């Protein structure tokens, strides 16, 4: 369940300037976006959007993390993307007025700035380059989706796990680390395999010295992860 909050000027946080996406906007432009948006707070594991439902709002993540996934009737899910601060979602239905293409749930407690279609249009009217910023993100997403289709079609599960780890890893003091919020089940749902299979592959990669698996993270030791067994 979310808590709606339209912040008043006094409590607006200057920290948004540190969030990617907003770094491209001036303080005045951030203020404008905030004045047109509703701030919503969600706890961990909350459903934000449901695939197939109608909706026309765009969600900008100011803090927290979400997973974007599609599901089937047996309850299986395929994770399309993990998004964090500075990312946005919900733009597709906002733009084409079709049902939501995927579901979105929080992986940790999260705060969003939510813009209705009408508010987004006002933003674009006042800050036209926002439309370009959104288009660039959409182009990047299509590229990533193309890569993912290639990976799913052409690699075995071993290669898919390896390439997903490389895609998710972020530099943490010189080490490439896949962070704590991702469970082995989440990883399995990203590569279209069972948790048991992913567990075996992670163990094999660790035994061969390519990665080290800690309780809440995975460190990539050798970037030349093998594409197959």
Which residues of the chain form contacts with ligand CMP (CB under 6 A)?
49, 68, 80-81, 89-93, 100-102, 104, 141, 145
Query: Nearer to ligand CMP by C-beta: 91 or 186?
Result: 91
Query: Nearer to ligand CMP by C-beta: 68 or 157?
Result: 68
Closest approach, Cβ 99 to ligand CMP, in A, equals 8
Instruction: Give the number of other CB atoms < 10 A from CB of residue 54.
Output: 9
Instruction: Give the number of other CB atoms < 10 A from CB of residue 138.
Output: 13
What Rg value do the Cα atoms of the chain yield, rounded?
A: 19
Closest approach, Cβ 95 to ligand CMP, in A, equals 8
148's CB contacts (< 8 A; 6+ apart) are: 80
Query: Nearer to ligand CMP by C-beta: 89 or 158?
Result: 89
Strand ranges across the sheet with 110-115: 3-5, 38-42, 110-115, 58-63, 88-89
Nearest alpha-carbon partner for 177 in 212, 226, 146: 212
Answer whether 37's CB lies under 8 Å from 115's CB. Answer: yes
Closest approach, Cβ 213 to ligand CMP, in A, equals 26
Closest approach, Cβ 92 to ligand CMP, in A, equals 3
Only one residue has tokens 């961990």, namely 44
> And the tokens for 78?
């395929």
Nearest alpha-carbon partner for 69 in 60, 56, 78: 78
Query: Nearer to ligand CMP by C-beta: 101 or 212?
Result: 101
> And the tokens for 24?
């491209």
Query: Nearer to ligand CMP by C-beta: 36 or 190?
Result: 190
125's CB contacts (< 8 A; 6+ apart) are: none
Closest approach, Cβ 145 to ligand CMP, in A, equals 5
Query: Nearer to ligand CMP by C-beta: 55 or 179?
Result: 55
Closest approach, Cβ 196 to ligand CMP, in A, equals 26
């Amino acid at each position: 369940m979310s808590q709606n909050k339209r912040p008043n000027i006094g409590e607006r946080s200057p920290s948004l300037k540190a969030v990617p996406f907003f770094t491209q906007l001036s303080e005045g432009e951030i203020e404008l976006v905030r004045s047109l948006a509703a701030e919503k707070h969600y706890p961990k594991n909350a459903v934000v959007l449901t695939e197939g439902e109608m909706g026309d709002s765009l969600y900008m993540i100011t803090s927290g993390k979400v997973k974007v996934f599609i599901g089937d009737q047996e309850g299986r899910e395929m994770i399309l993307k993990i998004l964090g601060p500075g990312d946005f979602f919900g733009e597709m239905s906002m733009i084409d007025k079709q049902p939501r293409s995927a579901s979105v749930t929080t992986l940790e407690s999260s705060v969003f700035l939510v813009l209705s279609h009408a508010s987004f249009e006002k933003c674009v009217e006042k800050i036209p380059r926002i439309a370009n910023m959104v288009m660039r993100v959409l182009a990047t997403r299509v590229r990533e989706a193309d890569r993912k289709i290639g990976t799913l079609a052409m690699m075995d599960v071993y290669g898919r796990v390896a390439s997903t780890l490389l895609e998710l890893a972020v530099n943490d003091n010189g080490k490439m680390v896949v962070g704590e919020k991702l469970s082995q089940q989440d990883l399995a749902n990203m590569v279209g395999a069972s948790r048991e299979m992913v567990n075996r592959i992670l163990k094999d990669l660790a035994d061969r010295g390519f990665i080290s698996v800690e309780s809440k993270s995975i460190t990539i030791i050798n970037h030349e992860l093998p594409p197959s067994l």
